[in-house]
Structure 1
Amino acid sequence: MEGPNPTPVSVRAIVAHEPAIGKPNWKLEHVRLRELKSNELLIRMVATGVCHTDLIFASMPSEAGPYPKVLGHEGAGYVHRVGSKVQNAVVGDSVLLSFQSCSACKNCKENHPSYCQQFSALNYSSEQEVFQMAGGSKPSGCFFGQSSFSGYAIVKESSTLKVTELVNDEEELKLFAPMGCGFQTGIGTVENLTIAGSQDTIVIIGLGSVGLTAIMAAKMKGCAMIIGVDRVPSRLEMATSFGATHVFNTSDKKLDLTRDVKALTGGNGSTITIDTTGNLGLIASGMDFTASRGQMVLLGAPAMDASLAVHLASFMQYIPKMIQWYREGKLPIDKIVKFYPVEDFQSAMSEMEAGITIKPIITW
């Protein structure tokens, strides 16, 4: 490997093994890293957000991708070493991590890397033999160009954003880890994809980290009516505190979502509907209550073989905006995260899957 600092002999990683009865089979294990390539960086992680995409990929049968593997795609840390061709960061820099792009297709060249023509191939397919465990097993890595469920990770240059001048300290760097995926998906959908404004009535179905940050963004855009939909009372209360003008609880047996949204909007329905759940019943209701000439955006994956949502904003340009909004008090992301030391990663995974925690962040 290249650079002045020694390579870690052994690091801890959360390794996904073949699922047991369709459930993720995670283990915290010691691994070694392969040699660093010229377009890669070695990052010392300080935090990694947990995303539902990680849970989905850890639940897939081995036919969809061999096990063991290291996942994680919301990393935050410091540059420990750099490959000879890396130009966007140097040793010691603070970085946030996101998806990988090819940098060569039409969309990448036009500064829309989230629509990279090779997005699926680069991000959903892990690279073989990035790690090595005792006994000779070699887990795959570079998931989303990073596999940040590891104390140190080999990261592709295109997945790396230098934020040395943007963060005040390591605690902020940990807090900002989910900006690489969940937070920017919710915010970017409202601001860049739907181009929401003061004339819009927006309904956001599912109030996890994507949905709640979409609520925050809708408030920043001054939407006339902001409606949050979920089954967890605490999340509905949180949505109200973040700017939702109305909320609906889907566990209420008297609720008819199509009827009630239309009644609330004078029969017009919503001009923008965003589903983050992948629940087919809720998606059908959303289609019914979305106004003529309205927009409906599907971010949730309704089945394991469905297409996953991609990031809807340019990573390199968008994160500085989110950091500024956080400093201005417009993006209270600190209220929806919970930190877990890596030893408690199982709690982070299970509490997210159960809906107890909105956005877990694992700290190294």
Structure 2
Amino acid sequence: MTSPTRAIVAYGPYQDGGWKMQDITLRPLGDNELLVDMVASGICHTDLHFAGMDSGYGVCYPRIMGHEGSGYVREVGSKVTSAKPGDPVLLSFSPCKACEQCRTDHPGHCVDFNPINFEVRTDDYLVAREASSPSTDLTIHGKFFGQSSLASLSIVNEASVVNVSGLVQSREELALYSPLGCGIQTGSGAIIQAAKADKSDRVAILGLGGVGLSAIMGAKLQGCSTIIGVDRFDSRLELAKELGATHVINTANMTSLDQLTSEVRKVTNGLGTTITLDSTGVPAMIREGLNLTGFKGKLIQVGVAPATATLEIPIFEFMVAGKQYMGVVQGDVQPQTYIPQLIRWVQEGKFSLDRIVKMYPAADFELAMKDMQSGATVKPVIVW
């Protein structure tokens, strides 16, 4: 059986006008797949990154992007056990569940993360032909992060599914929670799970988009003694203070990034931070993040840097200081347990998700993209 759906299809880089809303028809469901009626999907910079290039790793057109979906299960494959038709679900990335990292509760560092979530490898990853031209051979690729959630109806890997039955009572709640499966768990999880922050920590968050502000809220949840938000926009800095930052630093008028280290040292009584999280992916900012991190401190890398970017570290100085530079993917969390915890924190008023999310009708996806890129909206969510 095939199913019709509306989808935002990328035919090329977004900045070149390569995205358009259209009707398509989905292929039949596989044994380990679910058909999900999407309620909403968050839009992430990763969607634009992988559908923003002419060629390269993971680039394949035409393709449906989206990896922060939420919705209700319509149909399940014969081997699916995680959900049944009618269940509310949130969607996250797909791990293999078999490698050493997956078996030790680090699925974000699955050894097959890239091929499973980014690549189009076999016919199993093809979605369908255009409904308007059923006689053509054009196939539209899906399964981005196992879900391709920028569609009103999507075929989803079972590994991407987080069943939230009993936690979510309405479509409105599902829409609000849709970004939890990537950016929100990345920022908060990096602080809570990967860095294991506590009340003794002095934390700096570089970049205050959805990931960075989630990290601010994660640090507040952990009771960190000092929480420093760093950004170029006053509006983001003010929001960071409202969400838990004890100090903020605006880099807009700095003539040199070493001024940032000086400001952080002032705030931390000359000690520097114990945890620094970079969500910018800007090599110069990352290098300065290492400078402002104190002895035995950790620099947590979650921002995606250019593929060819490198970081030069003075080896002796780094060794003597006992610092750590850690790459973290998806907050190093297990989504099936961490996302329900995030929902409970939101419901208890401990995690102000509604302060960073803005809803857009799916038809207005171009406005949502524009507002995200300009910084007018922290976390846009399109609603079907």
Q: In the alignment, what sits opposite 1:4? A: none
Alignment of 1:193-232 (within 5 A): 193-232=194-233
| In structure 1, distance between residues paired with 2:216 and 2:188 | 8
| In structure 1, distance between residues paired with 2:120 and 2:308 | 17
Q: In the alignment, what sits opposite 1:349? A: 369
Q: In the alignment, what sits opposite 2:313? A: none
Q: Percent identity?
A: 46
1:130 aligns with 2:130: no
Native 8 Å contact 1:18 1:62 kept in 2: no
1:36 aligns with 2:43: no
1:285 aligns with 2:304: no
Deviates more, 1:314-323 or 1:117-126: 117-126
Q: Give the 4+ runs in structure 1 shifted more than 6 A.
A: none
Q: What code does the residue aligned with 2:366 have? A: Q
Q: In the alignment, what sits opposite 1:47? A: 40
How far is the alpha carbon of 1:306 from its aligned partner? 6.4
1:98 aligns with 2:102: no
Please give the TM-score of this superposition, normalised by the length of structure 1: 0.94
1:313 aligns with 2:333: yes
| In structure 2, distance between residues paired with 1:338 and 1:250 | 26
Native 8 Å contact 1:24 1:59 kept in 2: no
Question: Which consecutive unaligned segments of at least 5 residues does structure 1 have?
Answer: 2-6
1:298 aligns with 2:301: yes
Q: What code does the residue aligned with 2:27 have? A: R
How far is the alpha carbon of 1:302 from its aligned partner? 1.8
Q: What code does the residue aligned with 1:163 have? A: V
| In structure 1, distance between residues paired with 2:354 and 2:200 | 29
| In structure 2, distance between residues paired with 1:305 and 1:253 | 26
When residues 199 and 99 of structure 1 are mapped into structure 2, their CA distance, relative to the original with a 3 A threshold, is same
How far is the alpha carbon of 1:252 from its aligned partner? 2.5
Please give the TM-score of this superposition, normalised by the length of structure 2: 0.89
| In structure 2, distance between residues paired with 1:143 and 1:159 | 10
How far is the alpha carbon of 1:264 from its aligned partner? 1.7
Deviates more, 1:226-235 or 1:114-123: 114-123
Native 8 Å contact 1:114 1:315 kept in 2: no
Deviates more, 1:118-127 or 1:29-38: 118-127
Native 8 Å contact 2:300 2:328 kept in 1: no
Aligned residues: 357
> Secondary structure of the residue that 1:259 maps to in structure 2?
helix
Counterpart selection for 2:379 from 355, 359, 363: 359
How far is the alpha carbon of 1:337 from its aligned partner? 0.5
Native 8 Å contact 2:199 2:223 kept in 1: yes
> Secondary structure of the residue that 1:287 maps to in structure 2?
helix
Q: What code does the residue aligned with 1:86 have? A: V
Native 8 Å contact 2:283 2:309 kept in 1: no
How far is the alpha carbon of 1:284 from its aligned partner? 1.7
> Secondary structure of the residue that 2:276 maps to in structure 1?
strand
Q: In the alignment, what sits opposite 1:142? A: 143
> Secondary structure of the residue that 2:126 maps to in structure 1?
coil
Native 8 Å contact 1:75 1:98 kept in 2: yes
> Secondary structure of the residue that 1:296 maps to in structure 2?
strand
| In structure 2, distance between residues paired with 1:213 and 1:228 | 11
| In structure 2, distance between residues paired with 1:52 and 1:305 | 18
Native 8 Å contact 2:8 2:20 kept in 1: yes
Native 8 Å contact 2:118 2:144 kept in 1: yes
Q: What code does the residue aligned with 1:162 have? A: N
| In structure 2, distance between residues paired with 1:119 and 1:338 | 29
| In structure 2, distance between residues paired with 1:349 and 1:132 | 26
